[in-house]
Amino acid sequence: MMTSGLQHVAAMYAGVVAPPLIVGAAVGLSAKELTFLTGASLLTAGLATFLQTLGIWKIGARLPFVNGVTFAGVAPMLAIIDQTENKDDALPIIFGAIIVAGLLGFIAAPFFSKLIRFFPPVVTGSVITLIGVSLMPVAFGWAQGPVPEADDYGSMKYLGLAGITLVIVLLIRRFTSGFVKQIAVLLGLVIGTVIAVPFGVTDFSAVGEADIVGFPTPFHFGAPQFAAAAIISMCVVMIVSMTESTADMLALGEIVERPADEKTIAAGLRADTLGSALSPFFNGFMASAFAQNIGLVAMTKIRSRFVVAVGGGFLVLMGLCPIAASLIATVPRPVLGGAGVVLFGSVAASGIQTLAKAGLEKDNNVLIVAVALAVGLIPIAAPEFYHAFPETAMIILDSGISTGCVAAVVLNLVFNHIGKGKDAEDVTHPMEAGEDLAEPRTEKETATAH
């Protein structure tokens, strides 16, 4: 149980620490503050995992789910930071928006579980792809060095370290198996950091300043602030997160041979949203199920939710041990950039896998994907596109994930639901294309699916 739980942590560790590193760097936190933010994310991920696996009352799917910081919120949070004049207010504004979005999501959970037919693969796949693509510029920025204003920014030294780290991760994935293969990104970060030491780009000061034991001070970065535009943006992210979690619950339910019904989905969404609402109190971000751990359950055949709960215990212990969190702060930005290419690219690839189930042989769905991706890529491809809009609107518009999600949902309603009468029920399941997009099911298959 201990080793299997630790394997779950290893499979998702790089994913749970990447968002606080990205957001913390954008705010301009010191190495010590970055360590604090990372530790807080580990702690809240562990607590959210307890809530999801063990459950209380009608909260928690009681499936082997690992919860952590969702990548869906990173780009919108960067947009909030970019539009906040005083960077000291950025994290309080983000935390305030997450609290509101989490509470609204908790209230909406039982109703959302009934609306899932409006989020088929054509929507979820487009959004997940945008999440990965939107984060790629972050990895490329890391690869060029720690300080954009420095003369050696983008030098061969930094790009070389990023390239070496990328190659190491790929080699580990190609020539190893089992546990080692699962932690390829983590091993790449460790080996890349060791290689970077002779180049003088590794800073170990955070380790020296970190305590062995510590507890994240509630609202360490200031009391939460509530800005309308930020709240709207994070509410959109919450919808994306809830949609992705629902798809994950359906997939995991099949793997563990306990199909997730409407009641299970509602309980799982309550855990996600309540965990998200509580995380900011301890300086954490929006929580969501980690899809990579579903693959680990399928691979190992270990289906016990208590094993994953043990993994949550490891996350809590790491969050309460600042010196463990500080080790991540020592990883040079170029090394993070090399690993980030794989990490963020994998998110985009996951979205493409989902789109493969979207029935793209149907012209309507091709149009939905095309327009959603185009709208979502505007902030990356043409950063000044919305320059004439009010500054408050920029928080939402500068997040390609938010705008792309809205475009995908609206277009799906227009093309696949409105005016189609009974046919609107064809696209109902977030893991399937729908009966109008695939071979007709037999009566037995239909009964099994439901």
Is residue 432 predicted with pLDDT exceeding 60?
no
Q: What is the pLDDT of residue 162?
A: 92
What is the C-alpha to C-alpha distance for residues 349 and 372, in angstroms, rounded to an integer? 17
How many alpha carbons fall within 13 Å on the CB side of residue 99?
A: 18
> Number of helices (H) and strands (E), helices first, in the chain?
19, 2
Distances, alpha carbon 437 to alpha carbons 6, 359, 434, in Å = 41, 5, 5
Q: What is the pLDDT of residues 208-236, one digit of tens each?
A: 666 777 777 888 888 888 988 889 888 98
- pLDDT, averaged across the chain: 80
Binned at pLDDT 50, 70 and 90, residue 440 comes out as very low
Q: What is the pLDDT of residue 433?
A: 43
Q: What is the mean predicted confidence (pLDDT) over 59-72?
A: 82
Binned at pLDDT 50, 70 and 90, residue 328 comes out as low
Angle in degrees, 0-180, between the axes of helices 31-53 and 262-278, rounded to the nearest 10:
150
Q: What is the pLDDT of residues 142-163, one digit of tens each?
A: 889 877 778 888 889 999 999 9
Give the DSSP letter string of 67-115: EEE-GGGHHHHHHHHHT-SSGGGHHHHHHHHHHHHHHHHHHHHHHHTTS
Q: Which residue has the higher pLDDT, 384 or 449?
A: 384
Binned at pLDDT 50, 70 and 90, residue 253 comes out as confident
Is residue 241 predicted with pLDDT exceeding 50?
yes
What is the C-alpha to C-alpha distance for residues 67 and 287, in angstroms, rounded to an integer? 6
Binned at pLDDT 50, 70 and 90, residue 164 comes out as very high
Binned at pLDDT 50, 70 and 90, residue 444 comes out as very low
Q: Which residue has the higher pLDDT, 211 or 339?
A: 339
Q: What is the pLDDT of residue 423?
A: 43
Q: What is the pLDDT of residues 356-382, one digit of tens each?
A: 888 888 888 899 999 999 998 998 888
Q: What is the mean predicted confidence (pLDDT) over 112-119?
A: 76
Q: What is the mean predicted confidence (pLDDT) over 79-84?
A: 85
Most confident of 174-178, 341-345, 408-412: 408-412
Q: What is the pLDDT of residue 374?
A: 93
Q: What is the pLDDT of residue 447?
A: 47
Q: Which of 117-126, 170-179, 404-413 has the lowest mean pLDDT?
A: 117-126
Q: What is the pLDDT of residues 390-402, one digit of tens each?
A: 766 776 677 777 7
Q: What is the pLDDT of residue 422?
A: 43
Strands 287-289 and 67-69: antiparallel
What is the C-alpha to C-alpha distance for residues 425 and 434, in angstroms, rounded to an integer? 8
Q: What is the pLDDT of residue 295?
A: 60
Q: What is the pLDDT of residues 27-51, one digit of tens each?
A: 888 877 888 888 888 888 889 889 8
Distances, alpha carbon 311 to alpha carbons 7, 65, 446, in Å = 8, 10, 36
Q: What percent of the chain has pLDDT over 90?
A: 10
What is the C-alpha to C-alpha distance for residues 342 and 325, in angstroms, rounded to an integer? 22
What is the C-alpha to C-alpha distance for residues 97 and 77, in angstroms, rounded to an integer? 10
Question: Which of 169, 210, 182 is closest to 6 using CA atoms?
Answer: 182
Q: Which two tokens stand for residue 327?
A: 């080790």
Q: What is the pLDDT of residue 409?
A: 85
Q: pTM, whole model, 2 decimals?
A: 0.68
